[in-house]
């Protein structure tokens, strides 16, 4: 027969899986930052390019063409190096994201299979069968217990509800950020003017 | 006098022969141009029909030989026009060719008159040609509509590609779940939760829990018109693009997507309702077990 809190265990597992799914991009970016050791090199290169550009802007091309051209070559070389660096970093990030996703989906599949294996013949909860007529057989699948709620039905229901709930919570802060950023940009522009 | 007449007659005969040869040459060129055009457009479908037609009706000329042409082109074209690229001059050629045997013995001044007449007739036939050409196109399945269809499909494919490329960043930013919480949707979900609690507390001992749910959904169908309708942007996904390119009309796709959206709304309501019901049932059991 159903254990006391099987429904809560399944609900908790589904909630955890969905939460991890929403946090996957953050996790993969954190991991890629940890793995990358030469992240400072990129910022140094950017700063160097900025300085060289400032210096180039201060030089008159007519008066000091040779120096101007030398700087131009240096800037181009540094920019190419930066581009290569950024490309490799992006490729590494994509690889990391892919690995994280694969691992997550494997773990999720393993968790779901283990839950189904455990509660294959036991319903997660039992209610009087006339309450859930006429679909009591469908709801009880695969347990076959009259009035029971089977693992498959409960997994589907929990998945849907949890995804709806997380979506509602994720939308709220996202919307406020979406309204806030343009305001911030407007304020910065006004200050500059 | 007689020699002059005989000379004129010979000249007329020579001219008619020369004219005949010129017409034959012109016809050959025109025939080639038609074949060339057909090959460019890829018109090979009716080649067998043309061959069959020419084999079956060897006596019937390929080019229309109606001298006294007053009726529209379509009646002639339907019988003997497999290709749309028959040039108008072929009518002139055929007419002049057709004319010469009938008026083979006519003197030179008479030859010029029929030509002028043929020109006038041809102008009329050219004016009437578009109707006939359209009919022939419809009847024979010319390559022009096929080419236009292909080009329009290609344009659609390029537009859809652009749309997909534009919508992909938006979709990636928003996540894979594209559900939107408009007021009616929130109202539905709240109503389902409240009904589930109410049914658990008061109703479930008397009847099935799905009966009130069905009543609620019927009520929602009626109430939907009182809520502001949120214009949902038709998202072009790979599936819709594939369906569009395979020839399914956009209206059918939109209607199917709309039906699918409604069904998913009902399913979401059912899941929330059942979840809340079970949760409230377990909560009541917990309270019941804890109370002495």
- What does the alpha-carbon distance between residue A81 and residue A62 come to, in Å, rounded to a whole number? 28
CA angle B110, B116, B122 (to 5 degrees): 135
User: Which range, of A18-27, A77-86, B107-116, averages the lowest pLDDT?
Assistant: B107-116
Count of Cβ atoms closer than 10 Å to residue A43 Cβ: 9
Chain A positions touching B213 (Cβ under 8 A) are: none
Asked whether the beta carbons of residue B268 and residue A157 sit closer than 8 angstroms, the reply is no
Chain B positions touching A127 (Cβ under 8 A) are: 278, 281
Q: What is the pLDDT of residue B236?
A: 63
**Interface residue B164 vs chain A (CB under 8 A):** no
Asked whether the beta carbons of residue B181 and residue A171 sit closer than 8 angstroms, the reply is yes
- Interface list for B 184-243 with A (CB within 8 A): 189, 204, 208-210
- What does the alpha-carbon distance between residue A43 and residue A40 come to, in Å, rounded to a whole number? 5
Q: What is the pLDDT of residue B143?
A: 63
Residue among B181, B209, B268 minimizing CB distance to A160: B268
pLDDT of residue B119 exceeding 50, the answer is no
Q: What is the pLDDT of residue B81?
A: 47
**Interface residue B175 vs chain A (CB under 8 A):** yes
Residues of chain A with a CB closer than 8 angstroms to some CB in chain B = 7-8, 22, 125, 127, 130-135, 149, 154, 156-158, 160-161, 163-164, 167-168, 170-171
Task: Report the complex ipTM.
Answer: 0.74
First to last CA, chain B: 145
Candidates B271, B283, B286, partner chain A, best to mutate (most A CBs within 10 A) = B271
Predicted structure pTM score: 0.57
Phi, then psi, of A148 in degrees rounded to 5? -85, 155
In angstroms, the separation between the Cα of residue B243 and the nearest Cα of chain A is 28
**Taking a C-beta distance cutoff of 8 angstroms, is the pair A125, B281 a contact?**
yes
SS (H, E, C) A31-90: HHHHHCCCHHHHHHHHHHHHHHHHHHHHCCCCCCHHHHHHHHHHHHHHHHHHHHHHHHHH
Eight-state DSSP code of residue B201: I
Query: How many A-B residue pairs are in contact by the CB < 8 A criterion?
Result: 48
Structure tokens at B155: 């344009």
Structure tokens at B91: 């009518």
In this predicted model, which residue has the larger pLDDT, B179 or B19?
A: B19
Structure tokens at B99: 């004319």
Closest-approach residue (CA) in chain B for A161: B272
The DSSP line for B225-243 is: GGSPPP-------HHHHHH
- What does the alpha-carbon distance between residue B39 and residue B23 come to, in Å, rounded to a whole number? 24
Contacts of A129 (CB under 8 A, 6+ apart): A136, A146, A147
Asked whether the beta carbons of residue B282 and residue A134 sit closer than 8 angstroms, the reply is no
**Taking a C-beta distance cutoff of 8 angstroms, is the pair A86, A42 a contact?**
yes
> What residues does each domain of chain A span?
22-122, 123-192
Long-range CB pairs of B202-209 (<8 Å, 24+ gap) are B204/A131, B204/B277, B208/A130, B208/A131, B208/A132, B208/A133, B208/A134, B209/A131, B209/A132, B209/B273, B209/B274, B209/B277
Phi, then psi, of A54 in degrees rounded to 5? -65, -45
Q: Which residues pair with B158 in a beta bridge?
A: none
**Taking a C-beta distance cutoff of 8 angstroms, is the pair A135, B210 a contact?**
yes
pLDDT bucket at B234, cuts 50 / 70 / 90: low
Closest-approach residue (CA) in chain A for B275: A157
Residues in chain B, how many? 292
Count of Cβ atoms closer than 10 Å to residue B132 Cβ: 20
- What is the mean predicted confidence (pLDDT) over A132-153? 88
Q: What is the pLDDT of residue B253?
A: 87
Chain A positions touching B281 (Cβ under 8 A) are: 125, 127
Structure tokens at A100: 């994280």
Asked whether the beta carbons of residue B272 and residue A164 sit closer than 8 angstroms, the reply is yes
Per residue in B36-45, pLDDT tens? 777 777 655 5
pLDDT bucket at B75, cuts 50 / 70 / 90: very low
B289 Rama class: left (phi>0) / alpha (psi -120 to 50) / beta: alpha
Closest-approach residue (CA) in chain B for A124: B278
Q: What is the pLDDT of residue B208?
A: 87
In this predicted model, which residue has the larger pLDDT, B51 or B151?
A: B151
Share of chain A above pLDDT 70, in %: 85
User: Which range, of A80-89, B162-171, B213-222, B267-276, averages the lowest pLDDT?
Assistant: B162-171
pLDDT of residue A99 exceeding 80, the answer is yes
- What does the alpha-carbon distance between residue B93 and residue B230 come to, in Å, rounded to a whole number? 66
Closest-approach residue (CA) in chain A for B174: A171
- Interface list for B 31-50 with A (CB within 8 A): none
First to last CA, chain A: 73
Structure tokens at A104: 């997550």
Residue among A132, A156, A157 minimizing CB distance to B208: A132
pLDDT bucket at B173, cuts 50 / 70 / 90: very low
Per residue in B199-228, pLDDT tens? 998 887 888 889 999 999 999 988 888 887
Candidates B180, B205, B207, B282, partner chain A, best to mutate (most A CBs within 10 A) = B282
Please name which of B119, B135, B124, B123 lies closest in space to residue B71, comparing C-alpha atoms.
B124
For chain B, the average pLDDT equals: 67
In angstroms, the separation between the Cα of residue B180 and the nearest Cα of chain A is 9
Per residue in A103-115, pLDDT tens? 999 999 999 999 9
**Taking a C-beta distance cutoff of 8 angstroms, is the pair A42, A85 a contact?**
yes
Structure tokens at B33: 């141009």
- Torsion (CA) B47, B48, B52, B54 in degrees, nearest 10: 20
Inter-CA distances, B207 with A125, A133, A189, Å: 20, 9, 64
Closest-approach residue (CA) in chain B for A163: B177
Peptide bond into B142 cis (omega under 30): no
């Amino acid at each position: 027969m159903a254990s006391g809190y099987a429904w809560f265990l399944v609900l908790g597992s589904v909630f955890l899986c969905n939460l991890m799914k929403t946090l996957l991009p953050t996790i993969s970016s954190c991991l890629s930052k940890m793995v990358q050791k030469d992240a400072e090199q990129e910022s140094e290169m950017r700063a160097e390019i900025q300085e060289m550009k400032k210096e180039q802007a201060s030089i008159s091309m007519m008066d000091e063409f040779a120096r101007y051209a030398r700087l131009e070559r240096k800037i181009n070389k540094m920019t190419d190096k930066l581009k290569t660096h950024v490309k490799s970093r992006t490729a590494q990030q994509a690889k990391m994201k892919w690995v994280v996703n694969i691992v997550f989906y494997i773990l999720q599949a393993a968790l779901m299979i283990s839950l189904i294996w455990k509660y294959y013949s036991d319903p997660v909860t039992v209610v009087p069968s006339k309450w859930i007529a006429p679909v009591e057989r469908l709801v009880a699948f695969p347990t076959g217990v009259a009035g029971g709620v089977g693992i498959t039905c409960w997994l589907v229901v929990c998945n849907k509800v949890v995804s709806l709930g997380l979506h509602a919570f994720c939308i709220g802060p996202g919307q406020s950020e979406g309204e806030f950023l343009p305001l911030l940009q407007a304020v910065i522009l006004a200050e500059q003017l | 006098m007689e020699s002059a007449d005989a000379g004129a007659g010979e000249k007329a005969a020579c001219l008619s022969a020369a004219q005949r040869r010129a017409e034959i040459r012109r016809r050959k060129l025109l025939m080639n141009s038609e074949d060339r055009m057909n090959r460019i457009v890829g018109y090979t479908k009716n080649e067998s029909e043309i061959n069959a037609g020419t084999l079956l009706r060897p006596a019937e000329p390929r080019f229309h030989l109606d001298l006294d042409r007053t009726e529209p082109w379509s009646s002639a074209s339907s019988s003997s026009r497999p290709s749309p690229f028959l040039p108008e001059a072929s009518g002139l050629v055929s007419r002049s060719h057709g004319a010469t045997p009938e008026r083979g013995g006519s003197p030179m001044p008479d030859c010029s008159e029929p030509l002028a007449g043929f020109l006038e007739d041809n102008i009329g036939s050219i004016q009437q040609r578009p109707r006939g050409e359209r009919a022939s196109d419809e009847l024979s399945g010319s390559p022009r509509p096929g080419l236009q269809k292909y080009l329009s499909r290609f344009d659609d494919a390029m537009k859809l590609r652009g749309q997909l490329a534009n919508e992909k960043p938006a979709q990636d930013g928003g996540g894979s779940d594209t559900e939107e919480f408009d007021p009616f949707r929130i109202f539905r979900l709240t109503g389902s939760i409240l009904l589930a609690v109410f049914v658990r507390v008061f109703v479930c001992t008397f009847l099935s829990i799905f009966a009130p749910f069905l009543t609620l959904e019927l009520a929602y169908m009626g109430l939907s018109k009182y809520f502001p309708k949120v214009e949902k942007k038709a998202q072009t996904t790979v599936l819709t693009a594939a369906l569009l390119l395979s020839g399914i009309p956009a209206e059918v796709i939109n209607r199917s997507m709309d039906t699918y959206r409604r069904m998913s709304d009902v399913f979401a309501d059912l899941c929330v309702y059942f979840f809340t019901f079970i949760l409230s049932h377990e909560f009541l059991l917990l309270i019941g077990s804890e109370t002495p």
